[in-house]
Structure 1
């Protein structure tokens, strides 16, 4: 294959990594990482300048989104992702996620998405416990 025609990228390590940047957009991969276990999640984040798209490629992933008021988290919604479906987290929506050990998630966002335009809200142990409970409800064997 002519490498000047098709660029092939992959990311197999733990956590998040951009794999393609072009003009104003970025494609990244998120793989399982310990810090996204629900008892260890310590914040929700939003993006002020962009929506963010998630596509589950392998394993399992739950997207947690929160209503907010005056920089405080309100009701949390948990979405158990289905492989191949596109999940668009709208600009300004606070979110986080948890992944199974075998998970691989494709992420599309603005190339300039960074900590400067993506504020975080720290969460309490009570919120961590709520995330753990929601995960148990969604992933418990039927």
Structure 2
């Protein structure tokens, strides 16, 4: 009667998909290391909820003003719930070994996303800000 899930392996894993909503787990992958973040994404049909369960991660949100992202960053705390509203550009920077639970509208990972490529200057700005936050937990 009780379903139990244990998600292993790097990357994004939707594991509980029901009509209208889904739960996924994002385990650290190289793409989420701050040195490798080169884009933001947005969902036009859903909010996205994040819960850090292990490690260190920084949630990245941004508004695009005059064609450039203006960042808001949040060093995540374990077991705290964070929401990225629909239409908000975002990404997540993770340190190795980190795990995050994600709750969102079903099939978001299949069709509800657009990307915004970061310029080299914005990649450098983002990297400096994220590394500063990560350094506060060391």
TM over 0.5, shorter chain? yes
Following TM superposition, the consecutive aligned residue runs of length 4 or more in structure 1 with deviations greater than 2 angstroms are 114-117
Q: Which runs of 5+ in 1 are unaligned?
A: none
CA 1:39–1:125 in 2, change beyond 3 Å: closer, same or farther?
A: farther
C-alpha separation in 2, matches of 1:115 and 1:63: 21
Q: Tell me which residue corresponds to 1:53.
A: 49
Q: Give 1 or 2: higher helix fraction.
A: 2
C-alpha separation in 2, matches of 1:19 and 1:115: 14
From 106, 111, 124, the equivalent of 1:111 is 106
Q: Which runs of 5+ in 2 are unaligned?
A: none
Superposed counterparts of 1:1-142, under 5 Å: 5-69=1-65, 72-114=67-109, 116-141=111-136
Task: Give CA-to-partner distance per residue, 1:43-72, whole Å, 9 cap, x none.
Answer: 1001000000000001011011111246x3
C-alpha separation in 1, matches of 2:48 and 2:26: 13
Q: TM-score, normalised by structure 2?
A: 0.92
Shifted more, 119-128 versus 81-90: the winner is 119-128
Q: TM-score, normalised by structure 1?
A: 0.90
C-alpha separation in 2, matches of 1:43 and 1:59: 22
CA RMSD of superposed structures (Å)? 1.5
Structure with bigger gyration radius: 1
